[in-house]
Structure 1
Amino acid sequence: MTTTTPVASPVDFDAFGDYTVKAPTGPDGAFVRPLSPFRGRITAGGGDFPAEPGRYHLYVSLACPWAHRSVIVRALLGLEDVVTMSVVDPVRDGRGWAFREGPGHGPDELNGFTLLREAYEATEPGYDGHVSVPVLWDRVTRGIVSNNFPDISIDLGTQFSEWARPGVDLYPADLRPEIDALNERVYATVNNGVYRCGFAESQKAYDAAVTTLFATLADLEERLADRRYLFGDRLTEADVRLWVTLARFDAVYVTHFKANIRRLVDHPNLWRYARDLYRIPAFGGTTDFGHIKRHYYGTHPRLNPLRIVPAGPEVDWDAP
């Protein structure tokens, strides 16, 4: 359906070049993730950003694993009518994330932004830093609450219980120290580890990243030998954070990021676990492999200069 809401002009690498992440490389050639400058927190019952239905809006990319976490948590908690959402085009040129009409994404019906950068500039005039997703926007203050992805999914999962689906607790108080400890390791070696493999600028940095990545995957494979989820029969924030990387592993990270010692499907327990989660609508129903492949293969010219999106691999996520 045609909309009157403005959208960005089509992707044009000739006119706008490639998007450049503003982050330094480590002295050993290691990839360094840029910091998130906006770190407001949602709180139930008060504070600068109180939890209220209809007040907040998510800007996400279905391609981005960091944003996908928030999409999954929102769906698991049944917050679709409480926190609204817009999806950006998975392909970005030098202008960064943009709103265009297309399958699985569309215009920004809330603010009429054509580029996500406009949300950053509206919050901090003259903003010249990295523009990332997810972004949590506040209708009241007309600005960004947070672009710090770990905080956003935790706040969605814990501060909207008044309007959330009953019985869903992704961050139970009795498990929080253990969840935090596992999340810290998984982030460093798996979630961010695949990027440290793909964007390493020296053999030493790549070797260190790929070694720790597969050491953690081996430990997780063993952990899941006798349990359904990372913490037994309780689905938690830790599962959400691990799963978004597993979902992209064979489709992208094995080839594009050279994380290729073993595929996900070569880990029987992790592959069973990943397929089990995929059957939950909040996971499988929010996963768009077209967006994922188009983004990674189309917007990292140093890794894929011709931007050719591969046809495979053929992976049966619906296998028993």
Structure 2
Amino acid sequence: MTDKSTQEDQAAIAQRRAKGEFVRGISGFRGVIGDPDFPAEPGRYHLYVALNCPWCHRVTLARNVLGLQNGITMDVAFPNRTDESDPEGPNLWEFAPKRTATLTGAPLPECTGETGTGKRLRFAKDIYRAEGSEEQSVPILYDKIAGRIVNNESAEIIRMLDAHADALGSNIATAKRVQLLPTYDALKKDIHELNELIYTTINNGAYKAGFSSDQSVYAAAFDAYFKTLEALDDRLSDGRSFLTGNQFTEADLRLFPTLYRHDPVYYLRMKLNGARVLDYPHLWRWLCRVYAMPGVAAAGSLVHCRQGYFGRSWNGVVPKGPLKPMPYPEAYLQPDLSNR
């Protein structure tokens, strides 16, 4: 049975894609930190990410809020993949710290070379090729000692980091660190139900709306997306700080990357122009509350998001806005902005 909170149903995938539906594939590497092959040790593991990618954003958020910046090293790919002019071909994630972004006219300081393998590889695909795989996606969790990919499913990676934060070298004391998946059964059930709703209608729903070429698929995704935003805003209207109460959990972490991108990117790029997050006062204050948590702002980049999403559109031009009521991400520092 398909877990709708981690992956999409793959039934009739060829026919659905042929009709214009965006269908996300399944990650092929599903190793687990804590198994005999992959012991939980500080300094052993490495992440490959792209800061424009919302699935990678889940992982960078978990790394930061769990205090694993020193325990797990990380490389950042350029937000635009290669095009047809590259000798290696198009659509490849590239580690290119000197590549110029059209948005800024300069290299992006967060981008790095490849350091996890020690081979200075150019592409994420090269890391997969070493294991005989044709995959090329990020994020990748890599074991530097074994020289192997552990896992490339973001939902599973964040749970591993949460479960083994102490052993992986967290710099936050256990008592002060967030617990993404608490042990209480009732709360775990609530998180699971939220995860499934958020993945289906928000995380993956944004891509269904933005990248499907079938009008009916787009319309259904659009409607489900905004229906869920309404429901989440209502859920937060009772004064709770986070989705399940007063504790930040995995459900909040999984929602944040999409809503962080909504107003400045998805509203236009994914054709999700029904409303802004700013138009939902409780959800907006939640977004600002999460953004203000230690490590959260540093885990993402709207420059990378704007460059990555618009830089691969039909003409590659990146919009300058939005500028009203104020630019983003500065707007996320203003929780009362939705009241103005």
Out of 115, 126, 130, the residue aligned to residue 118 of structure 1 is 126
CA contact (8 A) 1:123 1:142 kept: no
Out of 279, 294, 314, the residue aligned to residue 305 of structure 1 is 314
Out of 206, 221, 225, the residue aligned to residue 194 of structure 1 is 206
CA contact (8 A) 2:209 2:271 kept: yes
Q: What residue number does 1:15 align with?
A: none
Deviations 1:66-96 (A, max 9, x none): 0011111111111111111111111112151
Out of 272, 287, 292, the residue aligned to residue 279 of structure 1 is 292
Residues 221-232 of structure 1: matches in 2 within 5 Å?
221-226=233-238, 227-232=240-245
Amino acid in structure 1 at the alignment position of 2:45: Y
CA distance in 2 between partners of 1:272 and 1:310 (Å) = 26
Amino acid in structure 1 at the alignment position of 2:225: L
Q: What residue number does 2:271 align with?
A: 258
Q: What residue number does 1:90 align with?
A: 79
CA contact (8 A) 1:194 1:259 kept: yes
CA distance in 1 between partners of 2:318 and 2:15 (Å) = 27
Q: State the aligned residue count.
A: 289
Q: What residue number does 2:100 align with?
A: none
CA distance in 2 between partners of 1:160 and 1:181 (Å) = 24
CA distance in 1 between partners of 2:222 and 2:15 (Å) = 17
Unaligned segments of structure 2, at least 5 residues = 1-12, 83-89, 98-106, 336-340
Instruction: Tell me the CA shift for residue 249 of structure 1.
Output: 0.4
Q: What residue number does 2:251 align with?
A: 238
Residues 58-77 of structure 1: matches in 2 within 5 Å?
58-77=47-66
TM-score when normalising by structure 1? 0.87
Instruction: Tell me the CA shift for residue 139 of structure 1.
Output: 1.3
CA distance in 1 between partners of 2:24 and 2:304 (Å) = 22
CA contact (8 A) 2:236 2:283 kept: yes
Matched, 1:107 2:113: yes
Amino acid in structure 2 at the alignment position of 1:217: L
Q: 1:241 and 1:305, CA in 2 relative to 1: closer, same or farther beyond 3 A?
A: same
Instruction: Tell me the CA shift for residue 287 of structure 1.
Output: 2.1
Deviations 1:107-164 (A, max 9, x none): 112321111111111122xx333x1111000112212111111100111111233333
CA distance in 2 between partners of 1:207 and 1:277 (Å) = 30
CA contact (8 A) 1:95 1:115 kept: no
SS at 1:151 equivalent: helix
Residues 99-178 of structure 1: matches in 2 within 5 Å?
99-101=95-97, 102=107, 103-111=109-117, 112-124=120-132, 127-129=133-135, 131-162=136-167, 163-164=169-170, 165=172, 166-167=174-175, 168=177, 169-174=179-184, 175-178=187-190
Identity of aligned residues (%): 38
Q: 1:149 and 1:24, CA in 2 relative to 1: closer, same or farther beyond 3 A?
A: farther
Q: What residue number does 1:31 align with?
A: 22
Unaligned segments of structure 1, at least 5 residues = 1-22
CA distance in 2 between partners of 1:95 and 1:211 (Å) = 30
Out of 183, 190, 197, the residue aligned to residue 185 of structure 1 is 197
Question: RMSD in angstroms over aligned alpha carbons?
Answer: 1.5
CA contact (8 A) 1:230 1:238 kept: yes
Q: Which moved more, 1:282-291 or 1:156-165?
A: 156-165
Amino acid in structure 2 at the alignment position of 1:207: A
TM-score when normalising by structure 2? 0.82
CA contact (8 A) 1:24 1:32 kept: no
Q: 1:137 and 1:25, CA in 2 relative to 1: closer, same or farther beyond 3 A?
A: farther
Amino acid in structure 2 at the alignment position of 1:318: L
Out of 31, 36, 46, the residue aligned to residue 40 of structure 1 is 31
CA contact (8 A) 1:39 1:148 kept: yes
